[in-house]
Amino acid sequence: MILLLPLLLALAGPVPPKKVHKLHQRILTLDTHADAPIMMQKEGFDVGKTHDTQRDQSQIDFPRMKEGGMDAMFFAVYTSQGPRTPEGHAEAKRNALNQFRLIHEALKKYPDQAELATTPDDAYRIQKAGKRAVFIGMENGYPVGDDLSLLKTYYDLGCRYITLTHFANNLIGDSSTDPDGPIYGGLSDFGKKVVPEMNRLGILIDVSHVADSTFYDALALSKAPVIASHSNCRALCDFPRNMTDDMIKAIAAKGGVVQVNFVSDYLKKPSDAHRTAKTKIRMARVGKVMTPELETRIAAQSDSVSKVYASERASLSDIVAHIDHIVKLVGIDHVGIGSDFDGGGGVIGLEDVSQIENLTAALVERGYSEADIAKIWGGNLLRVLGKAKVE
């Protein structure tokens, strides 16, 4: 029916904006990957006040979440992959704990605007109260180091998923993009302890960024469904960070969900020169202890590359194409949204969180029903979160 509805809608004319707006307001919208803590670490940034995307490159704050009708977001505690040494792990832990602190302090400062959520029921309760629900995820298991007990520490601070790796290998397993290649052939021996402990605590296993071998190891070992918190389809955009059709089918068979992200070069294939430039920037952090000076230099390089290759940016239609592909492959119950706002996400027609209703409009125009859109925007992920804890 989804394939026929666009033709019917085209014949009937565009859907009235007021109708889209009312639908958007009725459903619960949830984004599983928001890098707001990157901005929150910058001196003077206040997530409780409205910011301008063009002026300060920020895409998320509580007022713009409300403006756009974004009910819930997973704020990602992100650490770039530094040295796999005791000193590197100690710094990653310090960095992660500081980001948890910043999130909790912001929620304490603005209790009328947002509240911490850790369960599906929390999300619906906070939405009903007219506030934003802030979940917490961890992008990169690097801050776990080799200390399994830290999983409980992060869980107690609100963490409800961990992206096992990032752009390079860590002590948990192999990454899909480490420039030196794999070192374990999947999960490490330590990683094979991490997955069951995450199941026991109720932390979702996030397979975005992991090597294909790590993906299959984690999927086989986990007793709970797994998620890809911000990944797209390799069939539409051939990049190791994206999911193959077989991987998408495997996630769905286990009851999990693939959350489509808004990063242009994971949505549509960029030119070779663009991809090389972006890869160089991403890898500039790998294996290094980050300093303000290095962050400033990388940010300037990233801005320059974005301007040079602005014509290659993806659009809303590219996001919908990836959603369509997953739906056709495994059904409506296994797809969601993980924008990567403040971490590289953003396409033509969807520049920040205040504009997310545009995606709802695009889904309506594509022929998705309100029930389908509610699943895509949050229902599927919350179903999976409810199954995260397995003794």
Q: Which of 77-91, 233-247, 307-321 has the lowest mean pLDDT?
A: 307-321
Lowest mean pLDDT among 22-26, 162-166, 190-194, 387-391: 387-391
More confident: 84 or 296: 84
What's the confidence (pLDDT) of residue 6? 46
pLDDT of amino acid 51: 97
pLDDT tops 70 at residue 13: no
Contact present, 227 and 384 (Cβ < 8 Å)? yes
Single pTM value for the model:
0.89
pLDDT score of 273 = 65
pLDDT score for 114: 98
Helix or strand run (H / E) with residue 362: helix 357-366
Q: How many CA atoms lie within 13 A of 358 on its CB side?
A: 15
pLDDT at 281: 61
As a whole number, the mean pLDDT across the chain is 91
Compute the distance between CA of residue 250 and CA of residue 14 in angstroms, rounded to an integer.
37
AA letter at 329: L
Q: 354-388: per-residue pLDDT in tens?
A: 999 999 999 999 999 999 999 999 999 999 999 99
The pLDDT value given to residue 8: 42
In order of 60, 74, 249, the CA distances from 52 in angstroms are 9, 21, 39
Q: What is the pLDDT of residue 301?
A: 57
**What pLDDT is attached to residue 108?**
98
Average pLDDT over residues 244-251: 98
E strands present in the chain: 30-34, 72-78, 114-116, 132-139, 159-163, 204-206, 227-228, 257-260, 335-337
pLDDT of res. 7:
44
Which pLDDT score, from 0 to 100, does residue 111 have?
98
pLDDT score for 373:
98
271 pLDDT higher than 80 = no
Q: What is the pLDDT at residue 269?
A: 79
Average pLDDT over residues 119-129: 98
Q: pLDDT-derived band of residue 31, with 50, 70 and 90 as boundaries?
A: very high
Coil, helix or strand at residue 315: strand
Q: What pLDDT score was predicted for residue 291?
A: 66
Q: What is the pLDDT of residue 15?
A: 77
- The pLDDT of residue 389 is 97
Which one, of 345, 337, 167, lies nearest residue 265 by Cα? 345
Judge whether residue 190 has pLDDT over 60. yes
The average pLDDT across 93-108 equals 98
Q: List domains and CATH numbers for the chain.
A: 5-268+314-385 (3.20.20.140)
Residue 52 has pLDDT above 90, yes or no: yes
- Spatial separation of the C-alpha atoms in residues 158 and 142, rounded to whole Å: 17
Cα separation, 389 vs 161, in Å, equals: 11
How far is residue 319 from each of residues 12, 43, 262, 293, measured CA to CA in Å?
24, 33, 7, 34
**Pairwise CA distance, residues 134 & 117, whole Å:** 6
Q: Is the predicted pLDDT of residue 264 greater than 60, yes or no?
A: yes
Q: Tell me which of 303 and 23 has the higher pLDDT.
A: 23
